[in-house]
Amino acid sequence: MFNTPLTETELDTLDQLLRDNGTDDSVLNISELDGFLTAVASAPNLIMPSQWLPALWGGADGGITPMQKLAMTA
């Protein structure tokens, strides 16, 4: 596990990934991602990734996320 913050280059890459793959219902930039993950981490009850990952990408249907598509092409 890494204990260092993301570099500026990594943050820029992540921000671009969110912008390129986002919809009106998804997390669209790094600031929204920060708030979203803060809410998930500080929730009074455990929120399973199967619940919050689809919401991250703007859907609750459990469809393939942009990250899953990226992993399939790698």
The answer as to whether 18 is a domain residue is yes
Question: Which residues of the chain fall short of a pLDDT of 50?
Answer: 62
- The CA distance from 33 to 39, in Å, is 10
Q: Which domain holds residue 20?
A: 8-73
- The CA distance from 57 to 64, in Å, is 9
For residue 21, what pLDDT is reported?
81
The answer as to whether 3 is a domain residue is no
The answer as to whether 16 is a domain residue is yes
For residue 56, what pLDDT is reported?
83
For residue 72, what pLDDT is reported?
61
The answer as to whether 50 is a domain residue is yes
The answer as to whether 1 is a domain residue is no
Chain position carrying tokens 């671009």? 16
The answer as to whether 54 is a domain residue is yes
For residue 71, what pLDDT is reported?
63
Alpha-carbon distances, residue 18 vs 8, 42, 44 (angstroms)? 15, 22, 27
The answer as to whether 13 is a domain residue is yes
Domain count, the chain: 1
For residue 44, what pLDDT is reported?
94
For residue 12, what pLDDT is reported?
93
